[in-house]
């Protein structure tokens, strides 16, 4: 299994850090975890096109995480090289009492864009998840709701060989992220702001380290850096709490699992 960081940033435009997007290559599967603006082109640097993706997993429907969905589906209609295989799109379900789930978001987009995002040469399968286990090819995907937006979920991808990658999307500290990340080979965790600048619904490096420590993860990769993170000792603050390896995500970084 290999993780490729397409974007280690946020919704703030940056020449250094693209919007959230992560490519997982494992067992003949290409899976996109979130897909903010610009991730489709970044995928090309990793040798994966709009035709190759098997599944897209969205953690939540904030624009920095899903802005490339319409461009992806529009690209699939390119007549010279149309996409042929079916596409699985997974997103969080609506949770009482607030918010709407991924399917509602998708239907909203379709009501605006109509046929420009409707496939001609393949089929889209949409799956709404919250507390679930699903198979994507030979990979097992475990899902748990996280504490950020009403539809927020995190994903744990387990390979047939037993290797595990956990991705939080955006989240605050909550028991579910610790449970989801339990014993993971790699925890890809958001770290939006430096110590002393905590924002509700997001993590700081020490909180991220606490999650990795409590979950007894093998390695921790921090991502989703707002600009102030580039002027702070993120790794040091995290390593005070988590004694394992801490990686600060950079765009196009590749991590083998």
Output 170 or 172, the one with its CB closest to Zn ion: 170
DSSP H or E run through 247: strand 245-248
The reply on whether position 170 binds Zn ion by CB under 5 A is yes
Output 62 or 219, the one with its CB closest to Zn ion: 62
Angstrom distances, CA of residue 208 to CA of 83, 184, 192, 214 = 38, 14, 10, 10
The reply on whether position 34 binds Zn ion by CB under 5 A is no
The reply on whether position 62 binds Zn ion by CB under 5 A is yes
Work out the angle at residue 156's Cα, subtended by the Cα atoms of residues 12 and 15, and round it to the nearest 5 degrees: 20
The reply on whether position 64 binds Zn ion by CB under 5 A is yes
Angstrom distances, CA of residue 120 to CA of 68, 83, 117, 186 = 19, 9, 9, 38
Output 64 or 251, the one with its CB closest to Zn ion: 64
Output 223 or 238, the one with its CB closest to Zn ion: 223
Does the CA dihedral 35-39-45-51 come out positive or negative?
positive
Cβ at position 189, least distance to Zn ion in Å? 13
User: Of residues 144-163, which lie at the interface with Zn ion (CB under 5 A)?
Assistant: none
Kindly indicate which of the ranges 129-137, 165-173, 205-213, 242-250 contains the residues binding Zn ion, using the contact rule CB under 5 A: 165-173
Work out the angle at residue 16's Cα, subtended by the Cα atoms of residues 35 and 231, and round it to the nearest 5 degrees: 115
Kindly indicate which of the ranges 118-126, 170-178, 210-218, 242-250 contains the residues binding Zn ion, using the contact rule CB under 5 A: 170-178
CB 151 within 8 A of CB 102: yes
Which stretches of the chain bind Zn ion, using CB under 5 A?
62, 64, 170
């Amino acid at each position: 299994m290999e993780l490729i960081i397409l974007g280690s940033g946020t919704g703030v435009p940056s020449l250094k850090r693209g919007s959230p997007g992560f490519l997982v290559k494992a067992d003949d599967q290409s899976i996109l975890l979130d897909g903010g603006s610009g991730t489709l082109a970044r995928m090309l640097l990793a040798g994966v096109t709009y035709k190759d993706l098997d599944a897209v997993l969205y953690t939540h429907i904030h624009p920095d995480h899903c802005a490339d969905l319409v461009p992806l589906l529009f690209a699939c209609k390119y007549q010279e090289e149309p996409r042929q295989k079916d596409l699985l799109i997974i997103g969080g379900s609506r949770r009482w009492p607030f918010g709407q789930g991924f399917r509602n978001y998708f239907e909203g987009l379709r009501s605006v864009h109509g046929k420009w995002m409707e496939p001609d040469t393949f089929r889209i399968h949409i799956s709404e998840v919250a507390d679930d286990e699903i198979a994507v090819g030979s990979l097992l995907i475990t899902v748990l709701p996280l504490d950020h937006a009403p539809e927020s979920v995190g994903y744990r991808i387990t390979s047939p060989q037993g290797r595990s990658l956990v991705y939080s999307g955006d989240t605050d500290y909550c028991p579910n992220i610790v449970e989801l990340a339990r014993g993971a080979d790699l925890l890809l965790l958001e770290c939006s702001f430096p110590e002393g600048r905590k924002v509700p619904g997001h993590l700081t490096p020490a909180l991220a380290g606490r999650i990795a420590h409590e979950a007894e993860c093998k390695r921790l990769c921090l991502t989703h850096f707002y600009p102030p993170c580039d002027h702070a000792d993120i790794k040091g603050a995290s390593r005070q709490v988590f004694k394992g390896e801490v990686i600060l995500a950079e765009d196009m970084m590749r991590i083998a699992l």
